[in-house]
Amino acid sequence: MPFLGQDWRSPGQSWVKTADGWTRFLDEKSGGYVGDISSFCKKDDHNKENLFNSLNYDVAAKKRKKDLLNNKAKTQYFHQEKWIYVHKGSTKERHGYCTLGEAFNRLDFSSAILDSRRFNYVVRLLELIAKSQLTSLSGIAQKNYMNILEKVVQKVLEDQQNIRLIRELLQTLYTSLCTLVQRVGKSVLVGNINMWVHRMESILHWQQQLNNIQITRPAFKGTTLTDLPLCLQLNIMQRLSDGRDLVSLGQVAPNLQVLSEDRLLWKKLCQYHFTDRQIRKRLILSDKGHLDWKKMYFKLIRCYPRKEQYGDTLQLCRHCHILSWKGTDHPCTANNPETCSTSLSPQDFINLFRF
């Protein structure tokens, strides 16, 4: 209708239905002319022009707003595509794997634990994952993690070696799982809660088995450590990188107890693991006024990380960007493949998959 949106009840105006439709007439009191259709049309044209301009402004404003939103969406999409590119460039293209879980599954750590040179490396990696990366593993990777851990425990039970190392690993994992199970409402674990409770029970069972180990002496009779000259005994003890091993070795025999208290032995151990600055901050004097290197060592390990030492490590080829175990050749196209390999510590390996 022609009066749609207009106040047809305004004083001095009247609407009459004609053959051409509804027409507005102005009374004489209103200052208009009766039947002056041209004045109405001109006014209506003016209103239409204003309305058209207003609509154009609204359309232009909406278009600008839409374009702005589209530009933002394109920018976000560009950043997302760029992130995907970087994500792929730093995993699939560089390392051959997408996530830490995928690398953990495909690098075959199960067979690596059978190699004594790689055993400590795998155990350290399991410990780091238990501390902070367990929730980043997929369900399959977490299952594989527990399977590898079970094989590690079985190997220690059979060989009766590295008992303390695995005890610490199991304790770290159990502590982490206790924290994660309490937060199960936040979906921090993959799988049913009963499955994780069963796994925690398995960890407790493994800990009990390790505590019940009775180390048997070898059956053969031959030369023992105490049969060697004192200089050779001291030379062997200097090759131990863990002070707790020195303490345990000193409890075997009285003469080894004397050697295990050697100040020079503990001094070299401190200098091997820690910097001079770290040592100066933790100086401890004995009753005789000398530096007590043994007490300093155990104080330093509570404050600073020790130097890690492994017989074999994972290697990253800087040319091919491929991960492989040390000594495992891969078809590298570099002129000098030996110079392109970089040794990765367990922490360096985990850092490869952090974004």
Encode pLDDT of 218-251 as tens digits.
666 777 888 888 888 888 888 888 888 899 888 8
Answer yes or no: are the C-beta atoms of 166 and 203 closer than 8 Å: no
**Which parts of the chain have pLDDT scores under 50?**
3, 8, 27-49, 51-52, 55, 72-95
Verify that 253 and 138 share a domain, yes or no: no
Residue 206: which domain range?
Answer: 83-212
Answer yes or no: are the C-beta atoms of 301 and 314 closer than 8 Å: no
Verify that 93 and 206 share a domain, yes or no: yes
- pLDDT at residue 139, rounded to an integer: 84
Beta strands in the chain (DSSP E): 13-18, 21-26, 314-317, 323-325, 341-344
- pLDDT at residue 69, rounded to an integer: 53
Verify that 146 and 256 share a domain, yes or no: no
Verify that 119 and 159 share a domain, yes or no: yes
Q: How far apart are CA 156 and CA 151, in angstroms?
A: 9
Residue 195 lies in a domain: yes
Q: At which of 275, 303, 331 does a domain end?
A: 303
Residue 186 lies in a domain: yes
- pLDDT at residue 130, rounded to an integer: 92
Domain count, the chain: 2
- pLDDT at residue 16, rounded to an integer: 65
- pLDDT at residue 205, rounded to an integer: 95
How many C-alpha atoms does 87 have within 13 Å on its Cβ side?
9
Residues sharing a CB contact under 8 Å with residue 47, sequence separation 6 or more, in sequence order: none
Residue 20 lies in a domain: no
Q: How far apart are CA 308 and CA 9, in angstroms?
A: 93
Answer yes or no: are the C-beta atoms of 25 and 34 closer than 8 Å: yes
Cβ-in-10-Å burial (0-12, 13-18, 19+) of 270 comes to: buried
Q: What is the distance in angstroms between the CA of the first residue and the CA of the last residue of the chain?
A: 64
Verify that 99 and 189 share a domain, yes or no: yes
pTM for the structure as a whole: 0.65
